[in-house]
Amino acid sequence: MDKEMEKLFHDSEFGSNEEKYNAYLKILEETENEVDWAYEVWDHLLDNLTHEDNHQRSRAAQYLSYLAISDPEERMLNDFPKIWTVTYDEKFVTARHTLQAVWRVGLAGEEQKDLGMKYMTDRFKNGTDEKNYTLIRSDIIQNMRNLYDEIEDETIKETALQLIDTVEEDKYKKKYAKIWK
């Protein structure tokens, strides 16, 4: 990892609010493509999934989701449940930001895609007792759309449409279906 990336990770954790936000944006931009330094930060990010600061938890989960494409050892297959736990964070904004990024894990390969789809499908079906479950469902359907747009796997679309079809409230069924129009 070069000095600039080291500084970005440092600023992301210890900088002023502005430095944290700017570093966050640059790290996400950098990790949209494969990088060769993922394991230099991987374990620290895993530790930060349980950090006392919800912003650190959120950023760690998002960074790991983005770094999944840079994981030739396929650590994500074991670590995904730790990230998924953050989608249930006590701070809804932390949970939601994590949920909105977790689809990127599916870009890492077939097993990672299947794992993410399994978790999202289960949450869609069984999460109706959660507060804000309609927003969570919307994010899940949007995640599936994002993943489909990237890898064009028809099973993703079929799964999403089947889930939408199970929604009883017309208002939400239409809202979710609109994501796939």
The last residue of a domain, from among 61, 91, 121: 91
Q: Residue 23 has what pLDDT?
A: 97
If asked whether residues 44 and 113 sit together in one domain, one would say no
Would you say residue 80 lies in a domain?
A: yes
State pTM to two decimals: 0.95
If asked whether residues 73 and 118 sit together in one domain, one would say no
If asked whether residues 114 and 76 sit together in one domain, one would say no
Domain hosting 39: range is 1-91
**41-64 pLDDT, tens digit each:** 999 999 999 999 999 999 999 999
**107-142 pLDDT, tens digit each:** 999 999 999 999 999 999 999 999 999 999 999 999
Would you say residue 76 lies in a domain?
A: yes
* Collapsed DSSP state (helix, strand, coil) of residue 88: coil
The last residue of a domain, from among 64, 91, 118: 91
Contact 28, 10 (CB under 8 A): no
Would you say residue 104 lies in a domain?
A: no
Would you say residue 47 lies in a domain?
A: yes
User: Where does the pLDDT of residue 78 fall: very low under 50, low under 70, confident under 90, or very high at 90 and above?
Assistant: very high
Average pLDDT, integer, range 154-174: 97
Q: Total domain count for the chain?
A: 2
User: Where does the pLDDT of residue 144 fall: very low under 50, low under 70, confident under 90, or very high at 90 and above?
Assistant: very high
What single string gives the DSSP state of each residue in 97-125? HHHHHGGGGGGG-HHHHHHHHHHHHHHHH
Would you say residue 33 lies in a domain?
A: yes
Please tell me the distance from the alpha carbon of residue 160 to that of residue 1, in angstroms, as a whole number.
Answer: 38
**17-34 pLDDT, tens digit each:** 999 999 999 999 999 999
